[in-house]
Amino acid sequence: MATGSINVSVENIFPLIKKFLYSDHEIFLRELISNATDATTKLKHLTTIGEAKVEYGNPIIEVKIDKDAKTLTIKDQGIGMTGEEVEKYINQVAFSGAEEFLEKYKDSAKDAGIIGHFGLGFYSAFMVAEKVEILTKSYKEDAKAVRWVCDGSPEYTLEETEKTDRGTEIVLHIAEDSTEFLEEFRIRELLTKYNKFNQVPIKFGTKKETLPLPEGSAEDAKPETVEVDNIINNTNPAWTKSPSELKDEDYNNFYRELYPMQFEEPLFHIHLNVDYPFNLTGILFFPKLGNNLNIEKDKIQLYQNQVFVTDEVKGIVPDFLMLLRGVIDSPDIPLNVSRSYLQADGAVKKISSYITKKVADKMVSLINENREDYEKKWNDIKIVIEYGMISEDKFYEKSDKFALYPTTDNNYYLWNELIEKIKPTQTDKDGKIVILYANNADEQHSYIQSAKEKGYEVLLLDSPIVPHLIQKLEASKENIAFARVDADHINNLIKKDEPKISKLNDSDKETLKKEIEESINDTKFTVQLEDLDSTDAPFTLTQPEFFRRMKDM
């Protein structure tokens, strides 16, 4: 038996680990499962290139709770480690990793918001365990199995042990203050949160499965139930597949897999897939939003190689995308760092501007593919687009191709179409094009009507961010002005048509006037044959202001 001491520059790193990672103890499981997954993936690679002369088979990772022994075990069938490798990877890496951690984060760790998003890989096990055992056997020929034990002090033991199967078993002796991790529901919760889409199947207990009755069975035959592995993850989620393999239905199914509590189907999806200049895959969904600007948690989830990192994506993806749902997966999103680090990270910034561009491109193709369908969905997606337009310049620059401006008559114009349409009728005396809009079709009904009677188009812009959008448009587009349909100056803004001059000669006018006056026989009204506004009527009856007020009293 060999004993040794993990050489760290402080007396005992484990109290430090506990302290710094306090708010996020639960990530230990993700870390250990990630290591087990890596060990399995490495073996797959080595067998593929012929370096490992073993049968790869169908390896799984198993998570087991032993309540009596107070242990939680993570067992894999991956490459395993020789005694030397344990010395090298577990003992030494822990040393440097710990040193780096202490060096790098001793200042920022003061900031409570950052804590809890650090990870220390293997050593995060000591956040919940008072003693950790590693039982491992390398895939290498003649490798002897070894057992490493460490109780949280810098002392460890390493000895040969009995283990016949290849792979590694990490046994956590759960500490008194962490017994929640001996509860089945808690572990299931963690597996669902972090490892729902893990690359290697994860077994957690067993479940009963009913076998279908063989054909021709007797009517009263009882179907047979068998005990099968309870695999908690889907190793092949939709975003890892190529868009050409997937139908709309597959995307909708995946949406439900991601958000089991969402019953409404998404309106659109965007499949992200890039391998240069960085790797990124993912699927974003447009839910039905209406005018709802609530940015809630857990809409977009960040993954790194199919391992959940975070759903707190503020500062990582542009705000307007936080209205969407879906998954973004990139190996360039570091797993083991704080959120403030992520926000400042160059790779993450690039990812964010790539996604913005991708969403803009998708909008262009959606509107071009099926304008009618896009118009139908506009009211449910506009908030995302408008938010993107006011907050991301790159997105705004492209928005003329996909942002719609609906009228109160349900016409949906692109910017250029709108301008084209209203230019002849809605140019004011200074040559400015006046865009009339309403923000509440009911309240502004009569104003909308009278504007329409004059032949004007009235936009219906009713989302809560419209004032900002208008500001942005007015600041960047030449020669236009927005005017609310009930603003009292709209008549000055828009050039009135020349008043219509009666085509009748003076004596005809006299005769006509007399005839009308006689037939209505009411002195309240005046017959007007000139200055006919824009109507095509040959005369207008007007009622003096005085009589009108009398009537209203």
Which residues would be at the binding site for Mg ion (CB under 5 A)? 35, 121
* Cis previous bond, 334, omega within 30: no
Q: Quick one: which of 339, 448, 235 has its CA closest to 24?
A: 339
Cβ atoms of 171 and 135 within 8 Å: the answer is yes
Nearer to ligand ADP, 73 or 540 (CB): 73
CA-closest candidate to residue 82, choices 128, 156, 138, 35: 138
Pick what 89 binds: Mg ion, ligand ADP, none; C-beta below 5 to 8 Å, kind-dependent: ligand ADP
Q: Distances from the Cα of 295 to the Cαs of 264, 289, 292, 298, in angstroms?
A: 18, 11, 9, 10
Q: What are phi and psi of 178, to 5 degrees?
A: -130, 25
Is residue 79 a contact point for ligand ADP (CB under 6 A)? yes
Min CB(170)–ligand ADP separation in Å: 6
The residue (of 305 and 426) whose beta carbon lies closer to Mg ion is 305
Residue 79 binding: pick among Mg ion, ligand ADP, none (C-beta 5-8 Å cut-off by kind): ligand ADP
Residue type (1 letter), 127: M
Q: What are the phi and psi torsion angles at 326 (to 5°)? A: 135, -165
Task: Output the smallest distance, CB 45 to ligand ADP, in A.
Answer: 13
Does residue 93 touch ligand ADP according to CB under 6 A?
A: yes
Cβ 122 to Mg ion, closest distance in Å? 6
Q: Length of the chain, please?
A: 553
- What is the Cα gyration radius of the chain? 35
Is 339 labelled as part of a ligand binding site? yes
Closest CB 189 distance from ligand ADP, rounded Å: 22
78 is an interface residue for ligand ADP by CB under 6 A: yes
Query: Binding of ligand ADP at residue 232 (CB under 6 A)?
Result: no
Helix segments in 49-107, DSSP class H: 83-85, 93-105
* Residue of closest CB approach to ligand ADP: 121
Q: Which does 228 bind (CB under 5 to 8 A by kind): ligand ADP, Mg ion, none?
A: none
When CB distances are held under 5 to 8 angstroms depending on the partner's kind, the choice from ligand ADP, Mg ion, none that residue 78 binds is ligand ADP
96 is annotated as contributing to ligand binding:
yes
Nearer to ligand ADP, 136 or 407 (CB): 136
Residues near 90 by beta carbon (within 8 Å), at least 6 away in sequence: 81, 122, 134, 148
Partners of 137 in beta bridges: 167
Residues in CB range of 260: below 8 A, 6 or more apart: none
519 vs 458: CA distance, rounded Å: 39
Q: By CB under 6 A, how many residues form the interface with ligand ADP? A: 15
For 189, the 3-state DSSP assignment is helix
Partner in contact with 76, chosen from Mg ion, ligand ADP, none, beta carbon below 5 to 8 Å by kind = ligand ADP
97 is in an annotated binding site: yes
**Using the rule CB under 6 A, is 101 a contact of ligand ADP?**
no
Contacts 24+ apart (CB under 8 A), 492-499: 492/428, 493/428, 493/432, 493/434, 494/425, 494/426, 494/427, 494/428, 494/434, 494/454, 494/456, 495/427, 495/428, 495/429, 496/534, 497/534, 499/530, 499/531, 499/532, 499/533
Q: Which of Mg ion, ligand ADP, none has residue 93 at its interface (CB below 5 to 8 Å by kind)? A: ligand ADP
Torsion angle in degrees (nearest 10) through CA of 437, 439, 444, 449: 40
Which CB sits closer to ligand ADP, 159 or 510? 159
- Residue 90 binds ligand ADP (CB under 6 A): yes
| Token pair 């239905």 in the structure block, residue | 249
Residue 126 interacting with ligand ADP (CB under 6 A):
no
The yes or no reply on residue 135 touching ligand ADP (CB under 6 A) is: no
Q: Does 287 bind ligand ADP (CB under 6 A)?
A: no
**CB 252 to ligand ADP: min, Å:** 36
Amino acid letter for position 466: V
Q: Which stretch binds ligand ADP (CB under 6 A): 72-80, 290-298, 347-355, 395-403?
A: 72-80
Give the integer Cα–Cα distance in Å for 309 and 284: 17
Nearer to Mg ion, 89 or 525 (CB): 89
Residue 202 binds ligand ADP, judged by CB under 6 A: no
Please tell me whether residue 396 binds ligand ADP under the rule CB under 6 A. no
- Under the criterion CB under 6 A, does residue 121 sit at the interface with ligand ADP? yes
Residue 329 as a binder of ligand ADP (CB under 6 A): the answer is no
Binding site members = 31, 35, 76, 81, 96-97, 168, 339
Binding site members for ATP = 31, 35, 76, 81, 96-97, 168, 339
Give the interface with ligand ADP as residue ranges (CB under 6 A). Answer: 31, 35-36, 39, 76, 78-81, 89-90, 93, 121-122, 168
